Amino acid sequence: MDIEQRHLIKNTLSGKVILLTGAGGGIGLETAKILNYMGAYLIIAEIDKKRIKNAKKHLSENTEFFNIDLSSIKNISKMVRKIVKKHGFIDMLFNNAIIANIGKVEDINIKIWEKSYAVNFRAPLFLTQNVLPLMKKRNSGTIIFVSSSGSAPYMGAYEIFKMAQVELANTLNGELEGTEVNVFTISPGLVKTETAEKGIKLLAENMNITLDEFYKMNEGHIIDVEEAGKGFALSALKAKEYNGQEIGVIQVLNEFGVITSKNVKQLDINNNEIIESIIFIIQEYRNQYKGWTERNIFERQWVLRDFKKTTSYSAENCLEIINNIHQNIKNNNFNEIINNNNIFIKLKLYFERQYKLLQGFEKDPLKLKEYSDYLTKLVNELGKIIIGIKN
């Protein structure tokens, strides 16, 4: 059942003023539709006039638009002043706007790097500097950054600045400790938007593979633009819970019980199959954990820090939880397994991220296939567990 039909979230953001950048189309527009349904007053900052005209057809009157180039600090200052003069405050800043540049580091003109920096990092930073004092004064607010961690080859001019947003969010989280201002990042994953498809075409060319081969390689990791928009919008309802984390759209959709396109083909899983999958994941995680602890101190610290950033659990805490789950299986205590479904959701998010990183860094085609197949199996088994427990 579609989320709009559930009436669970209708008007849950009534009275909230949300500044959403880059929402004339794609994920941003789908996010805006859901935020409208949730009753928020939307302020959309968009550079493309044609997109603004189209977006107005899909959004309620509870929305206003600014036609703005976010690479201009002067334009941002002017926009924020107008918003504050009219509304007095901004409850949420959703930094969604991007420009995606694909190519080798040495081939991309420095002017393009500068433009990417201006839109993909400086704009979110400057917007944050403008709205944060208002939020701190009211001791209330949410700032959301859209991340794309990994810095895969040929995507540096885009992802480097998106990764910088993650570090900015982490810094802000530390500085805002003890306040009611929440900051987190959300990653959409691989979404077939118009902007993404143009970039993917260039990416495939740089990787010397066809577009069909790229999609085939990543078919288990693609979600619809509508689903990504739902995940973005719904994350706003869990801002306090997500505070300080880097989360993913799939995680949000799972936590809200929204069935994604990957899960449309419902799996007929009986309890024995679920338990077998859980035991498999437990054993594989134990093996992974053992491997991490045997690395040199610098590699170990990086891996453990990355794991916690992605899942919000420390590796040790995760090990403790899955060991407890294993004991409950032995005791036939399946209620405790249901209560710990979130750990499987977070592990799925982590291994999906590892799969993405692998595609950019493993050059040996045989090893790439071997490791990709392994990570895909982990993700699929975790998907079975998550769906099976919810059913």
pLDDT, tens digit, for every residue of 264-308?
A: 333 333 457 788 889 999 999 999 999 998 888 888 888 888 888
237 and 309 part of one domain: no
CA angle 123, 72, 243 (to 5 degrees): 15
CA distance 253 to 331: 31
Mean pLDDT across 96-109: 88
Phi, psi at residue 301, to the nearest 5°? -65, -40
86 and 219 part of one domain: yes
Mean pLDDT across 51-69: 95
Report how many domains make up the chain: 2
The pLDDT, as a whole number, for residue 264 is: 36
CA distance 63 to 43: 6
Query: Using an 8 Å Cβ cutoff, are 202 and 101 in contact?
Result: no
184 and 46 part of one domain: yes
The pLDDT, as a whole number, for residue 5 is: 47
213 and 329 part of one domain: no
pLDDT tens for each residue of 343-383: 888 899 899 988 888 887 777 888 888 999 999 999 999 98
| Highest mean predicted confidence (pLDDT) among 67-81, 312-326, 360-374 | 67-81
- How is residue 340 written in tokens? 């710990």
163 and 241 part of one domain: yes
231 and 306 part of one domain: no
Sole residue written with tokens 């959403």: 20
160 and 292 part of one domain: no
Q: Rounded to a whole number, what is the largest CA-CA distance in the chain?
A: 64
36 and 159 part of one domain: yes
Cα atoms in the Cβ-side hemisphere of radius 13 Å centred on 99: 19
Task: Note whether residue 17 is domain-resident.
Answer: yes
Sole residue written with tokens 């899955």: 322
77 and 148 part of one domain: yes
Phi, psi at residue 347, to the nearest 5°? -65, -35
178 and 316 part of one domain: no
CA distance 304 to 100: 30
Task: Note whether residue 260 is domain-resident.
Answer: no
286 and 222 part of one domain: no
- The residue range of the domain holding 384 is 266-390
- State the CATH number of the domain containing residue 197: 3.40.50.720
Task: Note whether residue 261 is domain-resident.
Answer: no
Flag whether the pTM goes above 0.85: no
**For the packed helices 315-330 and 341-361, what is the interaxial angle rounded to 10 degrees?**
130
279 and 386 part of one domain: yes
Task: Note whether residue 236 is domain-resident.
Answer: yes
CA distance 207 to 264: 31
The pLDDT-based confidence of 17 (bands split at 50, 70, 90) is very high
Number of H helices, E strands in the chain: 18, 9
